[in-house]
């Protein structure tokens, strides 16, 4: 899947904590891990609930900036039609990405060290 394809199917919200993706996208990435007990989140969409059936841990590059350690997305089986991925602004903030006039960048550069 190319970045432009993903960009067209992305929705983001200022209030949502965390990130969710549609099950077929998780399967396409080969990252789906099922939950023993699915749960529901209250939403303002369609039936007012999003059914979370698993999670995916994936590497993420947001606006060209790689997120150290990737991210975990909840996998929902009933996201709004036409949307494969929802990212909350608090989630983006937790990734440490800042938006500058020169473009997005990491707030802090990860510390690199060598274990001897």
> Per-domain residue ranges for the chain?
3-106
Give 9-57 pLDDT, tens digit per residue.
566 566 566 788 888 888 888 889 999 999 888 765 556 778 899 999 9
Q: What is the pLDDT of residue 47?
A: 65
Q: What is the pLDDT of residue 109?
A: 63
CATH 2.40.70.10 at 3-106, yes or no: yes
d(CA 2, CA 92): 20
Q: Is the pTM of this model over 0.85?
A: no
Q: Provide the β-strand partners of residue 43.
A: none
In the block, tokens 């699915």 appear at 38
In the block, tokens 């099950």 appear at 23
Confidence of residue 6 (pLDDT cuts 50, 70, 90): low
d(CA 81, CA 37): 24
* Rounded alpha-carbon distances, angstroms, from residue 114 to 5, 67, 111: 38, 20, 10
* Rounded alpha-carbon distances, angstroms, from residue 85 to 9, 20, 25, 100, 109: 7, 6, 8, 24, 26
Q: What is the pLDDT of residue 95?
A: 84
Give 68-96 pLDDT, tens digit per residue.
888 899 998 887 777 788 888 788 888 88
């Amino acid at each position: 899947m190319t970045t432009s394809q993903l960009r067209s199917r992305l929705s983001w919200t200022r209030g949502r904590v965390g990130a969710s993706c549609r099950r077929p996208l998780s399967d396409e990435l080969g990252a789906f891990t099922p939950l023993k007990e699915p749960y529901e989140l209250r939403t303002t969409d369609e039936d007012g609930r999003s059914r979370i059936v698993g999670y995916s841990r994936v590497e993420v590059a947001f606006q060209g900036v790689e997120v150290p350690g990737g991210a975990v997305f909840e996998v929902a089986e009933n996201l709004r039609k036409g949307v494969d991925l929802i990212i909350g602004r608090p989630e983006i903030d937790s990734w440490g990405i800042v938006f500058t006039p020169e473009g997005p960048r990491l707030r802090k550069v990860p510390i690199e060290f060598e274990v001897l």
